[in-house]
Each structure stands twice: as C-alpha cells, then as structure tokens.
Structure 1
Amino acid sequence: MSNWIRKALCAATAVAAAATLALPAQAQNRELRYAIGQPPSALPVIGGQELAKAVAKASDGKLTVKVYAMSLLNMAETSAGLRDGIADIGFVLTPYFPAEYPHTNLISEASMMLRLMGDKVRGKEGLAYIPAMTEFIFTKCPECHQEFAKQNQVYTGHVGGSSYGLICNKPVKSEADMKGKRFRVGAANWSRWVTQMGGSPVTMSANEMLEALKQGVVDCIVLSSPEIRNFGLTEVVTDIAMGAPGGIFSTAGSNVNLKVWRSLSNEQRAALLRGAAVAAANVPFAYHRVENEVLDQMKKRGARIHDTDPALVQKSQAFIEQDMKTITDYFASKHGVKRGQQMLTEFRPILAKWVDLVQTVNTEEQYADLYWREVFSKVNPATFGMQ
C-alpha cells in the first residue's frame, strides 16, 4: 500500500471517529446499570424491572436499564457505589446514611405521623406518604437536592412500603414484653421508639436481618409484613404484632449518577423520569396489596399473629406526638438541619392532600396515572439536575 493511500485511510478513519463522537446523545443506544440491594424476588426489584420496561418503551429502545438485584452492590454499598460510578442508577437507602442525607431523612423519619391522621389513612399509609414526600422533595426541599448532588447523584423520586410492626421470634405485644429485648431498626425514629418502650435498638443492614433473627442476635425486627417474604424471613419468624409502632420505610428508589444523568439527552432523561414514576407507584401499591396476604400465609405456617396491647398503642401515640415536636431538634443538633420545623409545616398539607387523593385509588394504573399527573409530569428533564 502506498504511503499516500495509507495516510488517506488514516485521515478517513479519524474523521469517522470524530463524527461518531459528535453524534447527539439521543442517537446512541445506552444501557444503564441499576443496583438494588434486595433479593431478586423482592418487591422493590420487581418495581425496578417495571422501571426498566417503562424506560425502554418511553425511549423507543434507545435507553435500556439492566437491574442487578443484590449482586452489583448491597444496600450498605449502594450510596457510595452510585457516587463512584459502579452503578448508573441506585436504590439508595438514605436512612442508612444520616450524615449524608439529613434533610431527606427528616421527612422520611417523620412517617410515624401517619398514626396521628386517623382511620382514613389506615391501609393506605405508603400510598399517601411516598408521593407526598416525593412531591415535597421535588418542589420544596432544595437542601435535599444539594445533599444528593454532593454524593454525585440526581434524585428521581421515592419508593416505600406499608406500615411497620414487630416481626419476632418470641411473643412481643406489650410494653412489658419489650423490656430488655433487642430490636433491629432501620432508622432513628424507630430507634427512639424502641428506647422509649424499654427495648434496646440494634442497627444493621437489612441484608443481615435473617441471620440476626436466626442466631438470636435480635429478638424482633421493626418491619412491615411484606418484608418477611422479601428477605426470606419466613422460617425464623414465629410471632407478629402489627399494632405499633407504625410509620413506613421510604428511600430514594432510583437515584441516577450525576455524570450519567447529564450525559443523556432530554428525551432519555424524560424516559428515566417516566420509568421512575412507574416504579414509584408500583412499589407501595404492591406492598399494600400483599401485606395481609403475607400475614395470612404466616398464620397458616404456624406463626402467631397478636393483637398489640392497647396500653402499648396508647403510649406509642403519645410518643409520636412528642416525637413530632422533638424530631426537628434532633436533626438540628445531630445533623445541622436548620429549618426542620418549617419543612414539617410545609410537608403536612401536602401529605393531607395525598391522603385525600388516594381514597378513590383502586388499581395500580389509577395510582400511576395520579402520580404522574400530580408530580412527575411537572419535572422538566431539560433543566432538572443540570446545574
């Protein structure tokens, strides 16, 4: 081959490569890695798979998502792993990281206020609280977005489950039963409640709950009933009492690595928001759909389902009322949250609105449509997370 032909071929190759790099982002197909630290059959993983389907559909296949369930990153690793680019999307359990996400956790850990809202919200706790929290963070919590940005993440909504009770390996249904026993808790609000009721709170990753209960490291787990199935606790749980403490666990279900988010086209970011809306609706709806089913299954297997002692319920209500007053002081002193009381004041009417909105929701499709219309459709993918 002559020298000039060789030079011409090299030049043509360079031009072609430059042209490829210059193609707009929407012309390039992308696959994003989504890390969820729960087992493959868990409801949040199913929600993640629904997110993936919705993203592919909304982007005409130009953007796809591959879900890694409890393989790429576990729950304790996901926040840092997403920050460092090990995953592109992550199921970030913000309550595990109080120093990194204090403003977000203030609202998350106020969820026991649901027990102060009467019977109207019973059985619909997650359906109301999760979208209320998502709307609040999108519209009224710039500090929350700053927290995520510091961790190299973009927020795309919360997910969460149903009401919390006591999942145990021995009968625990009264304050006397709680004395001296050890309770695995997933957030500071339940830790305060356990302490107030005479128990000892133990903090550990949800991935460790099975062995902890099996080996007697803890006597109970403060948890929602669907998590018995999600985390394979069926064989070790013998006693359940769901009358206290209440509240729900919520977390940032599909945060996106900031660099990845900004590398996408407007259309691809819009597709991710559409997918996030689907997952945000799917997960709490699924939790509420199966919570009684799981309890019935456990009863058939021989587990004892206890009515919580009314005195414990009453003391819990008094604790929650007080905790709503002290939670802002706790976050101010522990984590430097300066406007906690203002945040809760602004959040309450949003929650009350959502309690009303979900009263007529009977199907997941209705819930997803409501969620999209009220929250996600108002997020502009051209500007959100881009500054």
Structure 2
Amino acid sequence: MKLGMIASSVLAASIAAIPYSYAQRTLSHAHAYPSGTLPHEAAKQYAADVEAFSGGELAIKVYPLTLLSGSEMSDGIRDGLADSGQVLTVYFPSLYPHTNMVNESSMQLQLFDPDLVDNGRGALAFEGAMSEFIFEHCPECNQEYADQNQVYTGNSASARYSLLCTQEVTELAHMDGLRLRVAGAHWSRWIHELGGTSVSMTIGELTEALDQGVVDCTASALPELINLGMTDVVTDITTDIPGGVYAGASTASTNQDVWQSLTPDQRRALLKAGAYYAAALPYESVIRVGQTLDRAREAGIRIHQASPEVLQATREFVEKDLRRNIGYYATRHGITRGEEMLAQFRELLEKWVHLVQDIDSTEALGDLYWNEVYSKVNVLEHGV
C-alpha cells in the first residue's frame, strides 16, 4: 500500500509537471562578446530574469559570439536566426539613423557639471534618457526597428569612453596623424577636428588591429580592455577623452514575429527583464572601470589625463558638433526634425542626470528604469 501510494504520488507529480514543461518556450538570445565578459554575464542574468518574470513560461538560451557577430546581428534577428540580440546600431548607419543621431550627442556630457556626471553617473543618466526617448518620443526610431522586423525592448550604454592606445596621447600635438578606431561618427568628427584620422571596424577586429599597428588607439569604454583581451597590446590609456558613452544599442532587440506571438504578460516580462538588463551594463561597467585601471597598472600600462588644451578643444568641438550633427543627418539620412529631437533629448538628459544621483546598485538602477520608463510601455500597442 505504501509503495502504491508513493507510485501514485510520483505519477501525479509527473503529470502535473507535463503542462509546465510543454508551456515553457525557449527563445534564443545572441550577443557579440565572448563568454566570461560583462556583456555575457549581464545576458545570463537577463535570461534568469525573463524566466522569473514570466513565471517560467519563457526561457532564454544565450549565445555569446558564436551565433551572430556584431555585423550580422541586425539581419540575423530580422531573419529569425536569433529570437533576440544586442544590436549595435552604429554598425548599420543607413538602417538606424534616428537612433544613431541621438546616440551621437553623448559627448555633450562633457558640457555638464563634472560633479553631476563624473564617477559614472553620466552613463547612467544617458542610458535612462535614451530609453525614455526611444520608447516615448521617437516613433521614427521604433519604425527603424520595425523596418528590420524587430521590436525595441531595451537599451544599453557603456561607461565613459577613453583612449586605449599603443602610445601616449595627452597633448594636441599627439593628435596629429593619430589613427583612431571609433564606434560612432561623432568620435570620428572629433579626431578629424583635432588632426587625426578615424578607422571603423568591429570589436572582433580591434585587438589585432592595435597589435599590428593598423590603428594607434581605440575610443572605447575602459572595461573593453578586459572584455576584448587588449592588456597585451595597449600601452597607454588617457581616461578623460574623448568622453561620451555608447548608448546606440538595443540590448535585446526582438524579432517582431516572435514578439507578436507572445502574450501581453510575456511581453511585459521581457520589458521588465530588459529594464534590469539595461541597468546592468552601464552600472557594472562603471564599477569595473576602477578594477580595469588596477589591472592595467599591473600590466604596466601607463595611465594619463588629457592636457587642459585638449579638454578645452574637446568642449569647443562638442558645442559645434551638436549643431553640425543636425545638418549632417538631414543631408545624409533625410532626418527632418533633428533640431526638435535633440532639444527634447537634452531636456530628458538633464532630468535623468538628477534622477541617478543617489543610485548605489544595479538593482536600484533597474528599479528606476522600470518605474520611470519600461513599466509605462503599452504592450498591446508597442511592436504590433
């Protein structure tokens, strides 16, 4: 009798588990970084959050680097090779011009009071402003994703951009002829203005390019030194130029057919997980800046700050470039309301600079992003 009761209990448990097993749906998520890096760890946490917030109805399988490269990501998600992925819009200037134009205003952080934006708070603020702007104020941005059979479900931002180089770059004279790998047209315009030349390439090519002398420096967030294994090739870091952040990334851009096949609650789960995903990348990147500098010093890399002349030249460039950017995108990409967009974004950025002042954890930042932005997205209308 006892054995029969046990058998019946096991059978009942097995039967109860069947609907859950069949109900759970696994989605693939791709990014262009190796295992063990911050982006991969953030993606794994995103997967855990999706499963938790969906009550186990959704699971995420993360593919680091192997499924799609950065340059393949947009088309791969469009065509369903991955259900979602981190789209770095700078790789696709003709596909995401509105998104890129706003992202390329990030050097305006150099014009804010350093007491408000230093220690990483500028990155946290820019990320929040970028998310709010795209979700609530940029139908053109969302249409860009829709044109690629994608739905925007979250953003990501880097820590402040610095120069990672194979030589010292601190003076205006050092800029003359400097070959700089850039991840955005604004940084390209900056180095040209100061006398150097820009080179565009994917992150997968970067370490070898520095090692072989194809470029002298990369403008990158400091944690990329570790993420991309550059400690053996970089000899000098200048921490405070060019400044700005990279926030033109849809962290979990989702295939539109997949999104539309989800229930409203499942879409909301993706958005909530996306809010914390959006928080993890800039906050943890900022935390790792200090750790990266320690690793750099241990590796014998020299740490510098730019001269006052270079900082002043950079601020003067930013003020001109914010105006020039409007004309550039109107002529090159047909953007008709660039001035209105950048003015609106500036108001959001000023608001977010103050919102993030007391943030002291990834969880607190995720809560802020969720409460201020992501929870307000209408899942019955967004992406459908």
Corresponding residue for 2:208? 211
Amino acid paired to 2:308: P
Corresponding residue for 2:92? 97
> Percent identity at matched positions?
44
CA distance in 1, matches of 2:229, 2:348: 35
Corresponding residue for 1:170? 167
- Structure 1: segments with no counterpart, 5+ residues: 1-23
Cα shift readout 1:309-357 (whole Å, capped 9, x = no counterpart): 1111110100001001111111111111110000011111111111001
Cα shift readout 1:19-69 (whole Å, capped 9, x = no counterpart): xxxxx9x97321111010111122222111111010000112110001100
Size of the alignment, in residue pairs?
363
Mapped pair 1:69 → 2:67: no
CA distance in 1, matches of 2:362, 2:154: 17
Cα shift readout 1:225-277 (whole Å, capped 9, x = no counterpart): 11101111111110000121101011111100000100111121111111111
Work out which of the residue numbers 53, 57, 76 in structure 2 matches 1:58: 53
Corresponding residue for 2:144? 147
CA distance in 2, matches of 1:109, 1:131: 15
CA distance in 2, matches of 1:77, 1:275: 24
Q: CA deviation at 1:127?
A: 0.6
CA distance in 2, matches of 1:259, 1:243: 43
CA distance in 2, matches of 1:268, 1:306: 48
Amino acid paired to 1:121: V
CA distance in 2, matches of 1:113, 1:374: 23
Mapped pair 1:196 → 2:161: no
Corresponding residue for 1:14? none
Amino acid paired to 1:122: D
Mapped pair 1:122 → 2:145: no
Corresponding residue for 2:14? none
Work out which of the residue numbers 258, 279, 291 in structure 1 matches 2:289: 291
CA distance in 1, matches of 2:55, 2:375: 19
CA distance in 1, matches of 2:36, 2:342: 35
Answer yes or no: is the 8 Å Cα contact 2:155–2:278 preserved in 1. yes
Q: CA deviation at 1:385?
A: 0.9
CA distance in 1, matches of 2:206, 2:22: 45
Corresponding residue for 1:332? 330
CA distance in 1, matches of 2:91, 2:368: 30
Work out which of the residue numbers 203, 220, 223 in structure 1 matches 2:220: 223
CA distance in 2, matches of 1:307, 1:375: 36
CA distance in 1, matches of 2:32, 2:364: 28
Corresponding residue for 1:301? 299
Answer yes or no: is the 8 Å Cα contact 2:47–2:61 preserved in 1. yes
Work out which of the residue numbers 20, 33, 36 in structure 1 matches 2:31: 36
Corresponding residue for 1:9? none
Mapped pair 1:111 → 2:111: no
Q: CA deviation at 1:307?
A: 1.9
Cα shift readout 1:59-109 (whole Å, capped 9, x = no counterpart): 121100011000000111001111111000010000111100000111111
Of 291-300 and 249-258, the range deviating more from structure 2: 291-300
Corresponding residue for 2:264? 266
CA distance in 2, matches of 1:43, 1:83: 25
Q: CA deviation at 1:194?
A: 0.8
CA-atom RMSD in angstroms: 1.5
Answer yes or no: is the 8 Å Cα contact 2:83–2:254 preserved in 1. yes
Corresponding residue for 1:183? 180
Q: CA deviation at 1:114?
A: 0.6
Answer yes or no: is the 8 Å Cα contact 2:276–2:363 preserved in 1. no
Amino acid paired to 1:249: Y
CA distance in 2, matches of 1:203, 1:366: 36
User: TM-score with structure 2 length normalisation?
Assistant: 0.92
CA distance in 2, matches of 1:212, 1:298: 19
Q: CA deviation at 1:383?
A: 2.3
Question: Secondary structure of 2:156's match?
Answer: strand
Corresponding residue for 2:376? 378
CA distance in 2, matches of 1:33, 1:175: 47
Answer yes or no: is the 8 Å Cα contact 2:276–2:362 preserved in 1. no
CA distance in 2, matches of 1:145, 1:310: 40
Q: CA deviation at 1:151?
A: 0.4
Amino acid paired to 1:232: G
Answer yes or no: is the 8 Å Cα contact 2:162–2:221 preserved in 1. yes
Amino acid paired to 1:155: Y
User: TM-score with structure 1 length normalisation?
Assistant: 0.92
Corresponding residue for 2:243? 246
Q: CA deviation at 1:175?
A: 1.5
Amino acid paired to 2:61: K
Corresponding residue for 1:159? 156
